[in-house]
Structure 1
Amino acid sequence: MLGPKGQRVWVCMRGILGASAMMLIFYAIQQMPMADATVIMTSNPVFVSIFACIFLKEKCNWWDPIFIIFTLTGVVLIARPRFIFGSGDSGSEFDYMGRVRGTLAAFAGAICVALTIIVIRKMGKSVNYLISIWYYSMTGIILSVIAVSVTHEWRLPNCGMDRAFLILIGVSGMLSQIFLTKALQIEKAGPVALMRTTDVLLAFLLQYLFFNYIPTWWSLGGALCVTISTTGIAIRKWYSIVS
């Protein structure tokens, strides 16, 4: 249950980073449109590329700064800070400060996800993916208890659909972590990151179908910038591996 002795520190780091990323994205989705939060979170391949150069000694090239600029441009278009866009922009039912808090949380979550991917690649196949998920779950429980205790948010959800949705979130989130961890063990990070860019399309589609929320052109432009950068990173990594 504890995993290999030489890998326990890495598995603990994976658990802390993964749980932190999940809490940050949940907070971001409450503070800003779901699709916008998802777009910022899916920018993590850009940070994966940066951290891979630093920690895994992978090679970087002149494309990486370009992709970083595209990503940051996309985040700015989604956040729409007032010192650039003025105060006339409306965040619909999401107020300006909420959108700023959500943007910061999603951005921090993207960095945590990127570091999680680096740690998983560092461990490789020496740790069973279910052990990795077990550490993630236990760490998530501990961090959640600490967070709700500090913020004094201990309260039960309403009966009925709220509790059913919470259970569905738990099941879906766990399956997502299992599939992601297993994918990173059997495939390179580039193709996995490329497949995850479909999150953006799904987020905009589901947001419209279930909440009837139509995104602004700024959000669509930001999504395009982030998608271009993440797709470019994934294709470049994939091509360098194949060639």
Structure 2
Amino acid sequence: MLTDNTRGALLMMASMAAFTLNDTFMKTLAGDMPLFQLIFMRSIFTTVAIGGMALYLGALHLRIPRRDRWLIVIRALSEVGSAYFFLTALYNMPLANVSAIMQSLPLVVTLAAALFFSEQLGWRRLTAIMVGLCGVLLIVRPGTEGFNIFSVYALIAVAFVTVRDLVTRRVSGATHSMMVTFITSLALLIAFGLASMTVEWVPLTLHRSAMTLGAAVMVVFGYVFSVMVMRVGEISFVAPFRYTGLIWALVLGWLVFGDWPAPLTLLGAVIVVGSGVFMLYREAQLKRRIATETRLRTGIGH
């Protein structure tokens, strides 16, 4: 009999596997299919699938609080920006390298929340973030022969996803998460549908169709698993398993594309992951301490 924590961990790993498989399917079409056409074709399937789920859950409606509307628009635009920069980097860099840079996201989001929303950040977590960002520099290695503009694209993608995640935190509980996701997917469909008109389309061969469909299916599965994760297990136990995405990227990058990161890139990835896990551990400690203090105060009050 699996415990809730074990189920949560398995779902998190499944989510990371699905998202990394999506990246792998997308990268197989690099140089063979225009990026704008590919994202547009993938978005058709994902928008229909997510729209169907939102309809089933009764979330497909426009009864959205006025304040949330602008937040959702900003979130959608951030997703469009992150998709362009991330996938452009993915088209031109090894899968594991891009994935390693994206693993810095929890660190950057925590730092940005402290800077812009005045969320408390102790010296231990701040130190972990600074160490993790040094790990990112080892992966990117600016000024060296291995550095290229697409490393910057991956960092810009991190910035866009950070904005997306910070904005998502501000969306009220009155707006269903599936509706937010559907609007975001629809924004990708419209934005890259228009962008695809600026490039010359290629015919959809069996291989191109299969890879595009595979990417779309994996995106939907990745999202479904990530939603299920939030409903089982303790976040403090389950969250570190998000870093298994890097393991999937290493394995698939080697098996499918024959890529293996340089030693410094691997060292940087280990530093980023280690910093992220430590930060998650500290956050869990702080939450437990606050919960204990609250219970004690409540007990004393009675």
Q: Name the TM tier (shorter chain).
A: 0.7 to 0.9
Aligned positions of 1:168-187 closer than 5 A: 168-180=214-226, 183=229
Corresponding position of 2:246? 200
Corresponding position of 1:112? 160
CA distance in 2, matches of 1:188, 1:21: 29
Residue 50 of structure 2 corresponds to residue 4 of structure 1: no
Mark the CA change 1:226 to 1:59 in structure 2 (over 3 Å): closer, same or farther: same
Shift, 1:41, TM fit: 1.0
CA distance in 1, matches of 2:121, 2:235: 15
CA distance in 2, matches of 1:222, 1:58: 27
Aligned positions of 1:1-243 closer than 5 A: 1-6=61-66, 7-81=68-142, 83=143, 85=144, 87=145, 96=146, 100-149=148-197, 152-180=198-226, 183=229, 193-243=239-289
Secondary structure in structure 2 of the residue aligned to 1:59: coil
Mark the CA change 1:37 to 1:54 in structure 2 (over 3 Å): closer, same or farther: same
Residue 112 of structure 1 aligns with an amino acid whose one-letter code is F
Secondary structure in structure 2 of the residue aligned to 1:126: coil
Mark the CA change 1:225 to 1:157 in structure 2 (over 3 Å): closer, same or farther: farther
TM-score w.r.t. length of structure 2: 0.67
Shift, 1:171, TM fit: 2.3
Corresponding position of 1:91? none
CA distance in 2, matches of 1:222, 1:9: 37
Unmatched segments (≥5 aa) in structure 2? 1-60, 290-302
Mark the CA change 1:124 to 1:242 in structure 2 (over 3 Å): closer, same or farther: farther
**Is the 2:85–2:153 Cα contact (8 Å) retained in structure 1?**
yes
Query: Whose radius of gyration is greater, 1 or 2?
Result: 2
In terms of mean alpha carbon deviation, does 45-54 or 14-23 score higher?
Answer: 14-23
CA distance in 1, matches of 2:167, 2:257: 36
How much is the aligned-residue C-alpha RMSD, in angstroms?
Answer: 2.6
**Is the 1:77–1:222 Cα contact (8 Å) retained in structure 2?**
yes
CA distance in 2, matches of 1:235, 1:45: 13
Question: Alpha-carbon deviations, 1:157-189, whole Å to 9, x = none?
Answer: 550111211122122223334544665688997
Question: Alpha-carbon deviations, 1:42-74, whole Å to 9, x = none?
Answer: 211011112222344320111244233323322
Residue 108 of structure 1 aligns with an amino acid whose one-letter code is I
Question: Alpha-carbon deviations, 1:120-150, whole Å to 9, x = none?
Answer: 222253221210111111111222234445x
Secondary structure in structure 1 of the residue aligned to 2:199: coil
Shift, 1:21, TM fit: 1.8
**Is the 2:125–2:282 Cα contact (8 Å) retained in structure 1?**
no
**Is the 2:113–2:166 Cα contact (8 Å) retained in structure 1?**
yes
Q: How many residues align?
A: 228
**Is the 1:20–1:109 Cα contact (8 Å) retained in structure 2?**
yes
Alignment identity in percent? 22
Mark the CA change 1:158 to 1:25 in structure 2 (over 3 Å): closer, same or farther: same
CA distance in 2, matches of 1:210, 1:216: 17
Residue 153 of structure 2 aligns with an amino acid whose one-letter code is A
TM-score w.r.t. length of structure 1: 0.81
In terms of mean alpha carbon deviation, does 27-36 or 102-111 score higher?
Answer: 102-111
Question: Alpha-carbon deviations, 1:84-131, whole Å to 9, x = none?
Answer: x4x4xxxxxxxx5xx522211111112222222222222253221210
Where relative contact order (Cα < 8 A, 6+ residues apart) is larger, the structure is 2
CA distance in 2, matches of 1:214, 1:204: 7
Shift, 1:220, TM fit: 0.6
